[in-house]
Amino acid sequence: MPSSNIDIVSAGNPKDEAAFLELPYTLYKGEPAWRAPLRFERKEQFSPKKNPALHHITRELFLAKRGGEIVGRIAAFINHAHEAHHNDGAGHFGYFDCEADPQTGRALMAAAQGWLKAQGCLKMVGPAQWSVNEECGLLVDGFDTPPVVMMPYGRPDYQAMIEAAGLSKATDMYAFQADLNAGYPRPKQTQMMVKLAERDPDIVVRPMRSGKFMDEVQLVMDIFNDAWSENWGFVPFSQDQIEHMAKEIRPIMFKEGLWVGEIKGKPAAYIWMIPDLNEAVAGLDGKLLPFGWATLINRLKVKGVKQARIPLMGLRKEWHNTRKGLAIVAQLCETVFEAGRQKGFTHCELSWILEDNAGMIRICEQASATAYKTYRMYEKEL
């Protein structure tokens, strides 16, 4: 059993920050469901020059040490974009990883809580990586399979550590998994909605326009900011964040993965499927040098990956709970699933979906997808 001698220190210099970033690669090495993210991408998450999300963040990083050995980490931060949108006095925590020792977890949570309280925050919310627009939530169910791209990894014992610190459930978020070659024939309601869309002259579903990548990204993110504006924890993407996200996602996307739905000549909905980068980088330990680049390119472009994810999907609010809205979403789903099959994918994760989003859950179920992972956001009054 680990000893009780735990020191919590601020990661206030470049060396400590490098250790903060390195910890998961040593902590989880050898765990079957761990997929080491690309190291350069994780490093850029912490660089204000590379990640515009940090322009709105005040943060403090903490390391847990035992006898000089780093055994845990946590970030406490205030997202000023969140506060401007919600005005709820929330501070956040994230990047919570530590050894399997309850005392280490409690000490880290106490450090984050103390810092947030000292900053005048009224409550503590998390875990998240800067906002709900990035990796967020604690995995509480579905530990038997690895996370897909841009979804967090977690161990079963973290739930008890966080709850022991006095935090309670704020909301759950589901990840649905679809077998792209199963579930046929579709339920009658799904077939009916797809046929309605095909017969409706007001509805047009089109692929991404060639040579218009940034225009298309701007379009779908405008729909996103409208479609999800009333969701729990929503923070709108700023223009610089949209451009940053586009730059990050472009190398792994494929043209047939992005579809836009128009109603009466106006963009009303979209769906975006991407390959699971986590499958492609498995076994590389997050490194692309000296030979990781060749392996990554071969897996993505030649051999191909079998898992995909739909991280972004939206329908403008004016079309929520309408026949045309349901029809266009059904057609978008079936269209991108077929595109995924043609690309060689066998499975696709639709994530994440809030537990109270009955409409989106129904859409996932009608696409014969099943909820197979649950991620939880926690909160505590300070």
Q: Tens place of pLDDT for every residue, the chain, 382 residues?
A: 455 689 999 998 999 999 999 999 999 999 999 999 999 999 999 999 999 999 999 999 999 999 889 999 999 999 999 999 999 999 999 999 999 999 999 999 999 999 999 999 999 999 999 999 999 999 999 999 999 999 999 999 999 999 999 999 999 999 999 999 998 888 898 999 999 999 999 999 999 998 999 999 999 999 999 999 888 999 998 899 989 888 888 888 898 999 999 999 999 999 999 999 999 999 888 988 776 777 877 887 767 899 999 999 999 999 998 999 999 999 999 999 999 999 999 999 999 999 999 988 988 998 889 999 999 999 999 9
What letter represents residue 379's amino acid? E
**Contact in structure between 288 and 36 (CB atoms under 8 Å):** no
Residue spans in the chain of domains classed CATH 3.40.630.30: 7-171, 178-381
Q: What share of the chain is helix, strand, coil (3-state, %, to 5)?
A: 40, 30, 30
In terms of DSSP H, where are the helices of the chain?
A: 14-27, 39-45, 80-86, 102-118, 158-164, 188-199, 213-227, 239-249, 277-280, 292-297, 323-343, 358-366
Angle between helices 239-249 and 213-227 (to 10 degrees): 120
Burial of 302 (0-12, 13-18, 19+ CB in 10 A): exposed
Write down the CATH number for the domain with range 7-171. 3.40.630.30
**pTM above threshold 0.75:** yes
Which residue from 127, 122, 121 is spatially nearest to 109, judged by alpha carbons?
127
**Locus of tokens 């586009």:** 246
Fold of 178-381: Aminopeptidase (3.40.630)
Answer whether the bond into residue 24 is a cis peptide, omega within 30°: no
